[in-house]
Structure 1
Amino acid sequence: MTYPRIIFDSDNFTSFQKNALITLLKNDDLQMEESEVLDKVILWGKAKTPNLPPDIKDWTNENFNSLKATLKHCLSHIRYFQIPGKDVLKKIKPYRSILEENLWMTLSQDLKIQIGSRDGFASEVFHKLCDNLPRTVVAVKINNTNEILGGYNPLIWKVDGGRVEKSQSTICYGGITYGPWFSGNDFGMGNGSDPKR
């Protein structure tokens, strides 16, 4: 479809019937960014779901479940893996509870794979992209060598500081000025030689 914005930006868009929206979403040739399509589908769902608070921060589990029910059969037609990582965090993560759990887990894993040298090595970037995501793999290639180092964190990264209790799987996450640290001070990322304890 050459000009999908004519439909998506229409004043009548939120009054479309669900079957019409699904037919539109099934079109493999929508010439529009998939993150924008998702925005419009969420907008349509909100308009069709009664009693949603205007601010998502005020939503209850019941509100998310109502939106999920409204968007049933629509969400499966979004091409999530065509959405850039920055938009996954900004546009999908706030609504992750309306997705099937395995889809969100796959998306968050895919997002972790995308995170790399293109984002730089500032610890603040690491926290922006990885905080509150479980099961993180960190891999680093050492310059001018063929060495690849890394570690696995089965827990959720947080900026408040903490340490895995089992010494055989020591992982430390300090404040916002530190990225991940593995095995005490052996391997890590941050503004100093030792993470905040």
Structure 2
Amino acid sequence: MSPWIIIVILGACAIAYAFIMPRKDKVQQPSHQLVQEMESTLEHYMTEIEQENDALIQRVAELKGEATAADQRLQSQLQELQQRLDQLEQQKVRTTETVLSAPVDSVLGQTSDGLQAQKLLENVREDANQQPGSATAESQVKEENVEPQRESIKDRYKELFRLHDNGKSMDAIAKQTGIQLGEVQLILQLADREDN
């Protein structure tokens, strides 16, 4: 081949190579820019994650502090309740010991039923002392032990029995006295048994 053809072919190759070279730089440039954008995006994302982690760690620390404070409050309340329970148990033991060591008369005098019985006994003694010379020691003892006579059912429901004796029906008796019909029937039956 002639040298001119070789030079022309080499020139054509050089020109083609010159056209291809800038295209490689242009292709590489956008990929390089894309990598930089991805790196900056990842850095920004990592920064946000670190901030969120720091906020989360701070919130966890706050919750731990609140839980510790709540636990301390509960512990103090538990201790107070335990102390109160101990005091109540000691007070119960002292009261039991006092009741067991005290005479029966003083224990009865401390209860409300005992107070009522004691007042009744004193009233009976005062009544006996007010009647000069008529009451002896034996009669006082008998008066203390005697139960009051039970009032008969007819004395308690005089109006009911008056209406019944006048021939009124049970419905009429219930309406006039304000007592329910079943109760009227029961009272009349109890009166019959009391008479028999």
The TM-score normalised by the length of structure 1 is 0.17
Higher RCO (CA-CA < 8 Å; seq separation 6+) = 1
The TM-score normalised by the length of structure 2 is 0.17
Structure number with the higher helix fraction is 2
Q: Which has the larger radius of gyration?
A: 2
